[in-house]
């Protein structure tokens, strides 16, 4: 009985010893790199917020409907399709009561989409003529933004592979399979998009009909920069 117990313990110890000698995958050599890619594009979707307010000119009340008609005529005159003008989702049509006065002011907010900075300038010139004082650039974007995001993802992971290759070649090693891939900034938008207005930004960001010389301003947009980073863990072929 004692011999059987000793044999059993010995076999168990050999089994455990064999397990300890098995290679640990976590101990396999690897390299961690980050690939970065970016692309600059000219925005082709520019969204202008336009607020029309009911007001009085002398003794005559100028309604929102009247101003909308003149606004649409002005946009048609400069070649902008009217389907590019639509009501804003927020505050598109509301009434404002002036405190201390029994006066109600109707306001309507529109969004106008145009495709280039030159058209933006023509729109603001028309708004100045129509005495529409509340307008601003709401946002800029690009019609192929999602395609460009996919493109720079591919460029970023290729950059990571290239970095791993030349680093390992310096010590006589080779890049193996990708063990782990992560797009960084997972808790936020991994794509940093920048777009600024050049030459007269105050005219665009806070338009007022009282501003003079607007027609002499040159409006341009800096290119949008789309950027992303991808972390890759590669095995090392020895």
Strand, helix or coil at 235?
strand
Residue 202 has pLDDT above 50, yes or no: no
* CATH architecture for the domain at 45-141: 2-Layer Sandwich (3.30)
What pLDDT does residue 10 have? Answer: 45
Whole-structure pTM value: 0.68
As a whole number, mean pLDDT of residues 20-43 equals 80
* Dihedral angle, C-alpha 34, 35, 40, 43, nearest 10 °: -70
Of residues 99 and 233, more confidence is placed in 233
Residues 76-130: tens digit of each pLDDT: 999 999 999 998 875 545 555 444 455 556 788 999 999 998 999 999 999 999 9
**Among 119, 179, 199, 191, which residue's Cα sits nearest to residue 153?**
191
* Dihedral angle, C-alpha 139, 144, 145, 150, nearest 10 °: 180
As a whole number, mean pLDDT of residues 15-29 equals 57
237 forms bridges with which residues in the sheet? 174
Burial profile 105-121: b = 16 or more Cβ within 10 angstroms, e = fewer? eebbbbbbbbebbebbb
> Would 26-43+143-238 and 45-141 be classified into the same CATH topology?
no
Residues 126-149: tens digit of each pLDDT: 999 998 888 998 888 999 999 999
What pLDDT does residue 223 have? Answer: 84
As a whole number, mean pLDDT of residues 155-184 equals 96
What pLDDT does residue 34 have? Answer: 97
Residue 38 has pLDDT above 70, yes or no: yes
At the fourth CATH level, the homologous superfamily of domain 26-43+143-238 is Protein of unknown function (DUF541), domain 1 (3.30.110.170)
135 forms bridges with which residues in the sheet? 50, 207
pLDDT confidence tier of residue 204, bands split at 50, 70 and 90: very low
Per-domain boundaries in the chain? 26-43+143-238, 45-141
Most confident of the ranges 7-21, 112-126, 216-230: 112-126
What pLDDT does residue 26 have? Answer: 59
């Amino acid at each position: 009985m004692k011999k059987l117990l000793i044999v059993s313990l010995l076999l168990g110890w050999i089994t455990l010893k064999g397990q300890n000698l098995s290679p640990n995958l976590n101990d396999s050599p690897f390299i961690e790199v980050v690939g970065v890619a970016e692309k600059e594009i000219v925005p082709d979707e520019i969204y202008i917020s336009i607020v029309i307010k009911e007001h009085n000119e002398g003794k005559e009340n100028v309604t929102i409907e009247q101003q909308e008609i003149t606004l649409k005529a002005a946009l048609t005159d400069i070649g902008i399709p009217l389907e590019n003008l639509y009501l804003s989702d927020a505050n598109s049509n509301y009434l404002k009561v002036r405190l201390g006065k029994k006066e109600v002011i109707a306001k309507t907010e529109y969004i106008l989409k145009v495709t280039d900075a030159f058209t933006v300038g023509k729109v603001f010139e028309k708004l100045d003529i129509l005495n529409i004082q509340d307008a601003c650039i709401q946002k800029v974007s690009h019609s192929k933004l999602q395609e460009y995001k996919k493109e720079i993802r591919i460029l970023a992971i290729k950059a990571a592979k290239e970095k791993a290759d030349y680093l390992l070649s310096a010590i006589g090693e080779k890049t193996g399979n990708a063990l782990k891939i992560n797009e960084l900034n997972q808790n936020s938008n991994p794509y940093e998009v920048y777009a600024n207005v050049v030459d007269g930004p105050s005219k665009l960001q806070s338009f007022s009909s009282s501003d003079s010389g607007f027609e002499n301003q040159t409006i341009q947009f800096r290119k949008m920069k789309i950027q992303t980073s991808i972390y890759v863990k590669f095995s090392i072929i020895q």
